[in-house]
Amino acid sequence: MNLGTIQAADNEAQLAGVMAHEMSHVYLRHSTNMATKQMPAEILAGLVGNSTLGKLAQLGVGAFFLKYSRNDEAQADANGARIMYNAGYNPVAMANFFKKLEQQGGASAPQFLSDHPNPGNRVAAVSKEIASFPARPFQQNTPQFQQAKQQSTGIKAYTAQEIQARMKKQGGL
């Protein structure tokens, strides 16, 4: 969880959604599975070298594994929705947060070029996932979230690029 996520969340349910989604990636071993699948293909693409053929091979490897990334995101959303429901949060808040982030980011590439599902599709997918769940009351906020949100106000949240640039400048990378 980082400062930018806390600042961007409208409520605790959205923050819990990000946590549930990311926990699902770990639980479902997406990173380790992807690395295991991708390594042999990248080695083969690397053997072709830095030629035009090699660059095309690397592009092909990336496009091939893009499908797996989208599936991983959809799985993490579905599993995250179950985690949220069981924790007493409305699972749709997770998809709404991803939609909010995309809207704040401005125009984006079409879904078929993205490794993440379209946020509108995510809301529909999460809604479909939880349609059979029994109705229950959900919590939205606690005083602790309100306090964390207030404390985060006015603190600069650095982007990953800003952090990396600062580390390079300081000789850390």
Structure tokens at 17: 């959604």
Please count the other Cβ atoms lying within 10 Å of the Cβ belonging to residue 106: 6
Longest dimension (CA), the chain: 59
pTM: 0.69
Give tens-digit pLDDT for 23-40.
998 888 866 666 565 556
Measured between alpha carbons, how far is 132 from 28 in angstroms, rounded to an integer?
23
Structure tokens at 142: 């606690």
Give tens-digit pLDDT for 62-101.
555 445 577 888 889 999 999 999 999 999 999 899 888 8
